[in-house]
Chain A
Amino acid sequence: QQQVKQSPQSLIVQKGGISIINCAYENTAFDYFPWYQQFPGKGPALLIAIRPDVSEKKEGRFTISFNKSAKQFSLHIMDSQPGDSATYFCAASIGGGNAGKSTFGDGTTLTVKP
């Protein structure tokens, strides 16, 4: 049973466009939702994260939107750049963090065309 479902599997966006990646979760006990960014040949790295007591968090061009009632959250990348081309993973965990108990989505490969 997959607890965190991520879509789309791949995404192609033109430079300057908006990239949107969606995730849905099932376990209402999840209380921390990070997004990780992974470049080829590298390990994932934390990009931005949100807790369910807020509906939106913005850091630069990256925004997480969170809908607790729908059990969904999404990553928006504004003004997408070729350097944003990477694989993005959403994740969810219980207990205010506990990074190691995070359940990861299946990843989205983003390609930003110049």
Chain B
Amino acid sequence: DTAVSQTPKYLVTQMGNDKSIKCEQNLGHDTMYWYKQDSKKFLKIMFSYNNKELIINETVPNRFSPKSPDKAHLNLHINSLELGDSAVYFCASSPDGGTEAFFGQGTRLTVV
């Protein structure tokens, strides 16, 4: 049973397209996140949601829009994809005030 699952695992798309990445966690956590890991493996938080409400938005272009239909799901929509958006995107979750973030396996996005 996967605790934090995201789909798809790989995504190849052309510049200018719009795409979505889905994330679901079955841990009962209240807080979910999206992280971006670039080609140098630098890991940066993009968004944080607590119980469906946006908590953190780290200087991310507004082409990126997270959507949380319920506290178990946090999807990431990306409009007008650019080459620089190519990266691995990780979904994660943690309990409220929790000390550990549980990461999904990542979605490798390649924009061509």
Contacts and interface: CB of A to CB of B under 8 A. Distances in A.
A26 to B, nearest CB: 17
Given A100-B55, A109-B41, A41 B99 contact: no
Interface hub of A41, A45, A101, A106 (most chain B Cβ within 10 A)? A101
Main secondary structure of the interface of B (DSSP, over half): strand
A44 B99 contact: no
Contacts of A114: none
B98 A97 contact: yes
Contacts of A89: 43
B101 A100 contact: yes
28 contacts: A32-B99, A38-B41, A43-B4, A43-B90, A43-B105, A44-B43, A44-B90, A46-B101, A49-B99, A96-B99, A97-B98, A97-B99, A98-B98, A99-B31, A99-B92, A99-B100, A100-B48, A100-B56, A100-B92, A100-B94, A101-B45, A101-B56, A104-B43, A104-B44, A106-B40, A106-B42, A107-B42, A107-B43
